[in-house]
């Protein structure tokens, strides 16, 4: 658990982060959203003391972070940034081994961990271990960046616009991978982005910031339905609201009995994808499959019902 | 080659001319026209120029002219770089052989006073073919290791020629023969001056550069001060150091025992050191500032201490730029060290200044040629090291 209490950061009289308090529950993904200059990155960087607060307290699992030397604190917290920041003169394996090596792990343990992480990110260890960063594609570099951040098995992972430099296709894949890894490892993730779509897709909770202030900190559905200020509503985009709401729900939760024709929709697809598919194919219902087994149908009416503002 | 391209070349024959080759040919033709060798009755009287025909037996001279003509023709046409390289090196070898043969041919038997030196024609031909070779090397884009290997081969060949005695009738080597012990003594001094000053400057300059990088207010002050030092004319700096060092030697106990005095090697080393600092310090600062900000941020975020970050990330990534600074300084100091002779510091400059004093150009060359060769070799080797390191850390 990360408890941020009345935190302030100012540079030469300009307040960048203005009295923010929020609690990030363990094993969840919290996304901080805001425009550039909103103070979102500064807020995140105070958690691992890359920025020292002007006032206020941050506690991790009840312990004040000022009680630990900064470099030791940082070795316990994973850190991944936009454009990955891989060390260009080190191999993939050396990059991933950075924090374990700083912690003084044994060589054999480090090697095993490197291979395990490469496997976790679907990169063949034998093939990638000894490559240099410049020999990798953008998507691969990004995965190595996250693997490096997770190398020492931290409870907390901080990510600053981790997908900012990726093209849309690879970006979607990287987001799915991150969700899967978060579910598997149970890491508490704090992710900074300027993209509300990404925030809604990834976040268990979303913190919206503007001009150093925290405008709203809530679950995605709450933010879409009840934006706290006009600025939050603008970030979501009024015409996109129903679709954003649909994107939060899985098809599997709204299956009805019956039969339908045409290509099936997977149970773990979002209602938004199902709705789009139904509209495009001109059907009022489509069969739903889970692991190849037909489990019922999803109807256009069910999608429309879910897209409406909850009463 | 596509049909269209070959047709184009057939239409415009001058397209097949190598532009640099034209320059090589012009210099080469001028070289053929000017005297190949210079004959003097003794080492200080003005010489008498002798063309290729007079310098060698008739048969050999015709062969030499033909060989040079063929090499110049090769330079003119757009052959592949490897062909030009081979032709250039072959021409240089022929020249090296011919000038030795000319010296033997022109020196009268049992005459120890007569001197035969390479003439203006020889030097121009040397320039022309060196140009041809360097151009071919640039186009070949040889890997660093191969460039160093090639340098070793060339130096080995020169060593072999010297050892064989082919050139021993040349005036330059006659000057050497009468001064061999002094030559090697001054060579040692020259190396100590050049490499010693660069070593000290590196040991002092890199930490100073790191300090300037870390402490921003210090940066401008230090770099500006070093900039001013750099603008002091070298002879003036050597002179300016005489008084304070003489005072130190006279007034501080033990100073003169470790070799400090107003003239000699101490002020020379200090002056060369002062000239070396700016390039090394500024390249260290520029190299460190040039390290990608995201990489530095990641290193901090991973939990590296300042020291770990500096040693593992920042310095290795800045190394190519820092080494470039050291290369500049080393080549500069190998040249500058000749002036040390003016204040009794020794080095190859001793022969240069003696030669000027005696109007004996061969003696000047005895100091100048090894200096140029040393600087050239240092440049090639350090360039290769810088490139090799940059290849390894590419993508920074």
User: Where exactly are the structural domains of chain B?
Assistant: 2-168, 180-395
Query: Which sign, positive or negative, has the C-alpha torsion A47, A49, A54, A56?
Result: positive
B256-262 own/partner pairs: CB under 8 Å, 24+ apart = none
Q: Which two tokens stand for residue A310?
A: 């909850």
Q: What are phi and psi of A302, to 5 degrees?
A: -65, -40
d(CA B237, CA B12): 58
Residues of B in contact with A87 (CB under 8 A): 295, 298-299, 312-313
Burial state string for B301-321 with b = 16 or more CB within 10 A and e = fewer than 16: bbbbeeebbbebbbbbbbbbb
Stretch (H or E) spanning A205: strand A205-210
Q: Which residues are registered as beta bridge partners of B40?
A: B115
Distance from CA of A112 to the nearest CA of B (A): 20
Name the DSSP class of A219: -
Nearest Cα neighbor of A98 from B392, B308, B319, B314 is B308
d(CA B209, CA B228): 17
Residues in chain A: 311
d(CA B149, CA B137): 13
The predicted pLDDT at position B163 comes to 92
Class of B180-395 in CATH: mainly alpha
Residue B14 banded pLDDT, cuts 50, 70, 90: low
Residues of A in contact with B292 (CB under 8 A): 85, 88
Cβ contact, residue pair B394, A50, below 8 Å:
no
Nearest Cα neighbor of B88 from B30, B154, B34, B40 is B154
Residues of B in contact with A44 (CB under 8 A): none
Residue B16 banded pLDDT, cuts 50, 70, 90: confident
Of A50, A76, A88, the CB nearest to B295: A88
Residues B349-366, mean pLDDT to the nearest whole number? 89
Q: Which two tokens stand for residue A206?
A: 């979303």
For residues A245 and A307, the answer to whether their CB atoms sit within 8 Å is yes
CA distances from A76 to A2, A102, B302 (A): 13, 11, 9
Cβ contact, residue pair B295, A86, below 8 Å:
yes
Q: Which residues are registered as beta bridge partners of A159?
A: A80, A191
Whether pLDDT at B391 is above 80: no
Q: How far is CA A141 from the centre of its chain?
A: 17
Query: For the segment A132-182, what is each residue's pLDDT rounded down to a tens digit?
Result: 999 999 889 999 999 999 999 999 999 999 988 788 888 888 898 999 999
The predicted pLDDT at position B394 comes to 55
Sheet holding B48-50, edge to edge: B48-50, B37-40, B115-118
Torsion on CA atoms B97, B102, B105, B108, rounded to nearest 10: -130
Residues B277-281, mean pLDDT to the nearest whole number? 92
Does A73 contact chain B (CB < 8 Å)?
A: yes
Residues of A in contact with B309 (CB under 8 A): none
Q: Which residues are registered as beta bridge partners of A217?
A: A207
Nearest Cα neighbor of B56 from B108, B106, B93 is B106
Cβ contact, residue pair B303, A74, below 8 Å:
yes
Query: For the segment B115-130, what is each residue's pLDDT rounded down to a tens digit?
Result: 888 989 999 999 999 9
Residue B267 banded pLDDT, cuts 50, 70, 90: confident
d(CA A88, CA B390): 11
Cβ contact, residue pair B308, A102, below 8 Å:
yes
Q: HEC states along B176-208? A: HHCCHHHHHHHHHHHHHHHHHHHHHHHHHHHHH
d(CA A53, CA A57): 8
What ranges in chain A are assigned the alpha helix state H? 40-47, 70-76, 92-96, 98-102, 107-120, 125-128, 138-150, 168-185, 196-202, 220-225, 230-236, 241-247, 271-281, 300-307
Nearest Cα neighbor of B326 from B195, B211, B192 is B195
What ranges in B312-393 are assigned the alpha helix state H? 315-336, 349-357, 361-392
Mutate to test the interface with A, among B292, B298, B318 (most CBs of A within 10 A): B298
Q: Which two tokens stand for residue A184?
A: 């598997």
* Three-state secondary-structure class, residue A143: helix
For residues B313 and B298, the answer to whether their CB atoms sit within 8 Å is no
ipTM score for this prediction:
0.85
Across the A:B interface, residue pairs with CB atoms under 8 Å apart total 69
Residues B23-37, mean pLDDT to the nearest whole number? 92
Classify burial at A230, counting beta carbons within 10 Å of its beta carbon; exposed 0-12, middle 13-18, buried 19 or more: exposed
Q: Which of residues 221-280 of A touch B (CB under 8 A)?
A: none
Q: Which two tokens stand for residue A303?
A: 């999608």
The predicted pLDDT at position B44 comes to 76
Whether pLDDT at B13 is above 60: no
The predicted pLDDT at position B15 comes to 59
Classify burial at A179, counting beta carbons within 10 Å of its beta carbon; exposed 0-12, middle 13-18, buried 19 or more: middle
Of A71, A81, A87, the CB nearest to B303: A71
Distance from CA of A220 to the nearest CA of B (A): 29
Cβ contact, residue pair B317, A88, below 8 Å:
yes
CB atoms within 10 A of CB B343: 22
| Contacts with B261 (C-beta within 8 Å, 6 or more apart), sequence order | B245, B246, B249
The predicted pLDDT at position A170 comes to 87
Cβ contact, residue pair B313, A48, below 8 Å:
no
Share of residues in chain A with pLDDT > 70 (%) = 100
What ranges in A103-228 are assigned the alpha helix state H? 107-120, 125-128, 138-150, 168-185, 196-202, 220-225
Residues of A in contact with B316 (CB under 8 A): 89
Instruction: Locate the DSSP E strands across chain B.
Output: 37-40, 48-50, 115-118
* Three-state secondary-structure class, residue B38: strand
The predicted pLDDT at position B79 comes to 86
Distance from CA of B148 to the nearest CA of A (A): 24
Q: Which two tokens stand for residue B313?
A: 């990330």
Residues of B in contact with A41 (CB under 8 A): none
Nearest Cα neighbor of B183 from B371, B317, B395 is B371
Cβ contact, residue pair A88, B298, below 8 Å:
no
Does A98 contact chain B (CB < 8 Å)?
A: yes
CA distances from B201 to A129, A303, B45, B276, B377 (A): 40, 75, 44, 6, 20
Stretch (H or E) spanning B247: helix B234-251
Q: Which residues are registered as beta bridge partners of A23?
A: A3
Strands A156-160 and A77-81 turn out to be parallel
d(CA A142, CA A60): 27
Mutate to test the interface with A, among B301, B306, B313, B391 (most CBs of A within 10 A): B301
CA distances from B220 to B158, B209, B227, B230 (A): 47, 11, 10, 15
Whether pLDDT at B180 is above 60: yes
Query: For the segment B113-172, what is each residue's pLDDT rounded down to a tens digit?
Result: 888 889 899 999 999 999 999 999 989 888 889 999 999 999 999 999 999 988 988 888
- Most distant CA pair in chain B: distance in Å? 83
Distance from CA of A86 to the nearest CA of B (A): 6
d(CA A145, CA A147): 5
Query: For the segment B210-259, what is each residue's pLDDT rounded down to a tens digit?
Result: 999 999 889 988 988 888 888 888 778 877 888 888 888 888 887 777 77
Q: Which two tokens stand for residue B125?
A: 């031909």
Residues of B in contact with A148 (CB under 8 A): 302
Whether pLDDT at B5 is above 60: no
Name the DSSP class of A121: T
Cβ contact, residue pair B300, A134, below 8 Å:
no
d(CA B216, CA A19): 31
d(CA A306, CA B310): 55
Whether pLDDT at B396 is above 50: no
Does A83 contact chain B (CB < 8 Å)?
A: yes
Q: Please give the average pLDDT of every successive group of 10 residues along chain A, which has 311 residues.
A: 94 92 94 92 95 94 93 94 87 95 95 93 92 91 93 94 86 90 92 92 93 93 90 86 86 87 88 90 90 88 86 71
Distance from CA of A183 to the nearest CA of B (A): 23
Whether pLDDT at B176 is above 50: yes
CA angle B288, B294, B295 (to 5 degrees): 60
Specify the pTM: 0.81
Residues B71-82, mean pLDDT to the nearest whole number? 89
Q: How many CA atoms lie within 13 A of B36 on its CB side?
A: 24
Distance from CA of B310 to the nearest CA of A (A): 13
d(CA B267, CA B345): 8
Query: Which sign, positive or negative, has the C-alpha torsion B387, B389, B392, B396?
Result: negative
């Amino acid at each position: 658990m990360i408890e941020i209490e009345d935190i302030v950061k100012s540079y030469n009289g300009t307040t960048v982060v203005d009295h923010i308090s929020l609690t990030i529950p363990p094993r969840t993904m919290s996304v901080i959203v805001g425009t550039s200059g909103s103070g979102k990155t500064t807020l995140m960087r105070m958690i691992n003391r890359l920025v020292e607060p002007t006032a206020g307290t941050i506690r991790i699992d009840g312990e004040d972070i000022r009680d630990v030397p900064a470099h030791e604190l940082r070795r316990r917290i994973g850190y991944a940034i936009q454009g990955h920041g891989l060390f260009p003169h080190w191999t993939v394996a050396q990059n991933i081994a950075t924090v374990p090596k700083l912690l003084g792990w044994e060589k054999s343990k480090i090697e095993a961990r490197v291979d395990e992480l490469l496997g976790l990110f679907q990169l063949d260890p034998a093939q990638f271990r000894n490559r240099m960063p410049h020999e990798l594609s953008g998507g691969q570099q990004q995965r190595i960046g996250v693997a490096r951040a997770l190398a020492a098995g931290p409870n907390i992972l901080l990510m600053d616009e981790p997908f900012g430099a990726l093209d849309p296709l690879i970006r979607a894949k990287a987001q799915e991978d991150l969700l899967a890894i978060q579910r598997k490892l149970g890491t508490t993730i704090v992710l900074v982005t300027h993209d509300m779509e990404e925030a809604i897709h990834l976040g268990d909770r979303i913190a919206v910031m503007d001009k150093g202030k925290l405008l709203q900190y809530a679950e995605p559905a709450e933010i879409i339905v009840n934006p706290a200020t006009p600025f939050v509503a603008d970030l979501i985009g009024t015409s996109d609201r129903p679709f954003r709401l649909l994107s939060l729900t899985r098809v599997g939760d709204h299956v009805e009995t019956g039969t339908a024709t045409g290509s099936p929709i997977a149970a773990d697809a979002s209602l938004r994808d199902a709705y789009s598919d139904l509209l495009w194919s001109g059907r009022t219902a489509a069969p739903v499959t889970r692991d190849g087994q037909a489990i019922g149908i999803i109807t256009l009416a069910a999608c429309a019902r879910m897209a409406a503002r909850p009463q | 080659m596509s049909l269209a391209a070959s047709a184009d070349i057939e239409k415009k024959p001058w397209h097949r001319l190598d532009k640099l080759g034209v320059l090589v040919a012009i210099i080469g033709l001028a070289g053929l026209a000017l005297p190949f060798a210079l004959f003097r009755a003794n080492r200080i009287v003005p010489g008498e120029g002798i063309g290729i025909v007079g310098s060698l037996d008739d048969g050999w001279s015709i062969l030499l002219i033909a060989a040079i003509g063929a090499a110049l023709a090769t330079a003119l046409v757009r052959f592949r770089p490897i062909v030009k390289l081979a032709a250039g090196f072959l021409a240089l070898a022929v020249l090296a052989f011919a000038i030795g043969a000319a010296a033997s041919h022109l020196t009268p038997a049992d005459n120890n006073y007569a001197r035969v030196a390479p003439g203006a024609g020889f030097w121009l031909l040397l320039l022309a073919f060196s140009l041809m070779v360097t151009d071919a090397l640039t186009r070949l884009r040889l890997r660093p290791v191969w460039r160093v290997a090639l340098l070793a081969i060339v130096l080995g060949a020169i060593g072999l020629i010297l050892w064989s005695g082919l050139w021993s009738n040349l005036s330059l080597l006659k000057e050497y023969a009468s001064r061999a012990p002094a030559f090697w003594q001054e060579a040692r001094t020259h190396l100590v001056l050049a490499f010693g000053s660069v070593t000290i400057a590196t040991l002092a300059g890199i930490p100073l550069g790191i300090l300037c990088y870390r402490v921003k207010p210090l940066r401008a002050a230090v770099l500006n001060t070093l900039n001013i030092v750099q603008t002091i004319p070298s002879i003036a700096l050597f002179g300016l150091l005489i008084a304070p060092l003489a005072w130190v030697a006279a007034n501080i106990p033990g100073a003169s025992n470790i070799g400090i005095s107003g003239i000699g090697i101490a002020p020379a080393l200090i002056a060369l050191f002062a000239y070396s600092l700016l390039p090394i310090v500024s390249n260290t600062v520029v190299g460190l500032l040039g390290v990608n900000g995201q990489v530095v941020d990641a290193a901090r975020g991973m939990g590296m201490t300042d020291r770990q970050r500096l040693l593992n990330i920042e310095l290795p990534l800045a190394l190519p730029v820092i080494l470039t600074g050291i290369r500049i300084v080393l080549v500069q100091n190998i040249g500058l060290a000749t002036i040390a002779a003016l204040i009794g510091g020794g080095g190859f400059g001793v022969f240069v200044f003696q030669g000027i004093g005696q109007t004996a150009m061969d003696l000047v060359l005895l100091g100048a040629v090894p200096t140029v060769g040393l600087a050239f070799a240092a440049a090639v080797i350090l360039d290769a090291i810088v490139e090799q390191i940059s290849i390894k850390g590419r993508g920074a």
